[in-house]
């Protein structure tokens, strides 16, 4: 399985089979165990990852950079203003040049289509660190966290409440690939992309998953094993903050809403969270919350990706 992943791009979870995603999760669990037991695992000795950032980052930057160090390699931070993309160099030329220097590229950017174009031109693996449309690296860590705490993924129900954004899209793609049921509740006009929903529904037919898209957060959270939310205004949408606060107020994840979930539900949030907006502080700090385990697992999930694609 690892040999099949070597040299691949990681742009969306839809590009990977159920078996490949399960393998990555098991690989991440093994790498986490090795780190905890102090077992060296320098699988990427001498390898270098280039990291292009057009958006600010805490978890993405630190997890990829630390991950490369723990795997025996190195990472180079490339802010957009630090490289010639800021002066009009094409994605094609940048991808070709970087491919001559580094062994892989991770990009955190706005345009998903721009990421796709970069990957087409690059001759080394390209990893999606986040775009406006997808956040697969985060969702890989989310699935890892659920697997750790629940012991399985197949048959569990995940409820996502909030904006039909990149998190909703990657959760839709990832959940059905591992046999989870998923319900997404968003306000009218803020639903996830119809094409991505349709793709998830097709996969669900093969894996036995169920997909529900609704405007009712209670319907989505009913009997959920996992409750997930995200900020109401993502990076680049700051001008819409006030309007979105009004529209999304009924979609706040709070104690009243979570009463409809199973008694042993997990709460996830990719962070940073706006306490008191999309989620109340008592939910984040509740024993049901595993947001900091989830944040830690970015490191282990990223190490699995890096070692599988670049080894």
- Give the long-range contacts of residues 97-102, CB within 8 A, separation 24 or more: 98/50, 98/122, 98/124, 99/123, 99/124, 101/48, 101/50, 102/48, 102/49, 102/50, 102/76
138 is known as an active-site residue: yes
Annotated binding residue 61: no
Annotated binding residue 271: yes
- In angstroms, rounded to a whole number, what is the distance separating the alpha carbons of residues 131 and 22? 23
230 is known as an active-site residue: yes
Annotated binding residue 241: no
Annotated binding residue 135: yes
- In angstroms, rounded to a whole number, what is the distance separating the alpha carbons of residues 110 and 146? 28
264 is known as an active-site residue: no
Annotated binding residue 60: yes
Annotated binding residue 235: yes
User: β-strands 157-161, 126-130: how paired?
Assistant: unpaired
Cβ burial of 58 (10 Å; 0-12, 13-18, 19+) is exposed
Give me the catalytic one of 108, 169, 288, 300.
108
DSSP, collapsed to helix, strand or coil, labels residue 192 as: coil
8 is known as an active-site residue: no
Annotated binding residue 132: no
Give me the catalytic one of 135, 169, 181, 269.
135
Annotated binding residue 120: no
Give me the catalytic one of 70, 132, 230, 269.
230
Q: Which of 277, 162, 280 is nearest to 229 (CA)?
A: 162
- DSSP H stretches of helix in 38-158: 59-70, 91-99, 112-121, 136-150
Give me the catalytic one of 225, 269, 270, 300.
270
Annotated binding residue 183: no
Q: If residue 23 lies in a helix (H) or strand (E), which one and from where to where?
A: helix 18-36
- In angstroms, rounded to a whole number, what is the distance separating the alpha carbons of residues 61 and 52? 10
Annotated binding residue 163: no
Annotated binding residue 113: no
3 is known as an active-site residue: no
Give me the catalytic one of 22, 112, 269, 298.
298
Annotated binding residue 258: no
Residues 7, 125 contacting (CB under 8 angstroms):
yes
269 is known as an active-site residue: no
Annotated binding residue 171: no
Give me the catalytic one of 138, 258, 269, 288.
138
Annotated binding residue 166: yes
Binding site listing for L-ornithine? 166, 230, 234-235
Residues annotated as catalytic (active site), given as ranges: 108, 135, 138, 230, 270, 298
Binding site listing for carbamoyl phosphate: 57-60, 84, 108, 135-138, 270-271, 298
Annotated binding site: 57-60, 84, 108, 135-138, 166, 230, 234-235, 270-271, 298
């Amino acid at each position: 399985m690892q040999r099949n992943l070597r040299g691949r791009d990681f742009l969306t979870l839809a590009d990977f089979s159920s078996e490949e995603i399960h393998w990555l999760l098991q690989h991440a669990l093994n790498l986490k165990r090795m780190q905890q037991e102090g077992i060296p695992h320098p699988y990427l000795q001498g390898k270098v990852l280039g990291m292009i950032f057009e958006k600010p980052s805490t978890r993405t930057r630190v997890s990829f950079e630390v991950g490369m160090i723990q795997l025996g390699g190195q990472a180079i931070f490339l802010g957009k203003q630090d490289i010639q993309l800021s002066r009009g160099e094409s994605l094609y030329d940048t991808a070709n040049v970087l491919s001559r220097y580094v062994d892989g590229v991770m990009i955190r950017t706005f345009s998903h289509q721009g990421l796709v174009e970069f990957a087409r031109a690059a001759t080394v693996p390209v990893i999606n660190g986040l775009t406006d449309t997808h956040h697969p690296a985060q969702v890989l860590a989310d699935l890892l966290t659920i697997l750790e705490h629940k012991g399985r993924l197949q048959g569990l129900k995940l409820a996502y409440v909030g904006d039909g954004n990149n998190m909703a899209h990657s959760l839709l793609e990832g959940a059905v690939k591992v046999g989870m049921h998923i319900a997404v509740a968003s306000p009218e006009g803020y639903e996830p992309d119809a094409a991505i929903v349709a793709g998830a529904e097709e996969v669900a037919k093969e894996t036995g998953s169920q997909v529900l898209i609704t405007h009712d957060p209670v319907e989505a959270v009913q009997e959920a094993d996992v409750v997930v939310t995200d900020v109401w205004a993502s990076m680049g949408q700051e001008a819409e903050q006030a309007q979105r606060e009004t529209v999304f107020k009924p979609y706040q994840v709070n104690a009243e809403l979570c009463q409809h979930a199973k008694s042993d539900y997990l709460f996830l949030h990719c962070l940073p969270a706006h306490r008191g907006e999309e989620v109340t502080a008592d939910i984040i700090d509740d024993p049901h919350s595993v947001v900091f385990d989830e944040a830690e697992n970015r490191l282990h999930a990223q190490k699995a990706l890096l070692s599988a694609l670049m080894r």
